[in-house]
Amino acid sequence: MVLSGHDGEEDHALRLLRVARDMLALTDGTPLLGGERVRVRVGINTGPAHSGVLGTKRLKYTVWGDRCGACLLFMYQKGGEGL
């Protein structure tokens, strides 16, 4: 997962798309142990999000917010491999 803040530049969304494209290119055809290849899905959405560390015994870094949930839901419902 990549989380990117808005730095005030007009091309922030374009730069995020480039990151997604590069992630897909890096993993395209990359084999794992056992011969299965890496499969990547990309979901992009904009809007407010929050992140932080949760827990006291087993710490977990997580991201949450309406935009994160919408992006994840859309990615799993509509996203396809290599799209």
Model pLDDT, residue 34: 78
State the residue range of the domain holding 48: 12-78
Number of domains in the chain: 1
Residue 14 identity: L
Asked whether residue 68 is domain-assigned, the answer is yes
Model pLDDT, residue 36: 76
Scored b (16 or more CB within 10 A) or e, 27-57 reads: eeeeeeeeeeeeeeebbebeeebeeeeeeee
Model pLDDT, residue 80: 59
Asked whether residue 6 is domain-assigned, the answer is no
pLDDT, averaged per 10 consecutive residues of the chain (83 residues), comes to 73 87 81 75 72 85 72 69 53
Cβ(80)–Cβ(40) below 8 Å = no
pTM of the model: 0.56
Model pLDDT, residue 52: 83
Residues 49, 31: Cα–Cα separation, whole Å: 33
Model pLDDT, residue 82: 52
Asked whether residue 57 is domain-assigned, the answer is yes
Asked whether residue 19 is domain-assigned, the answer is yes
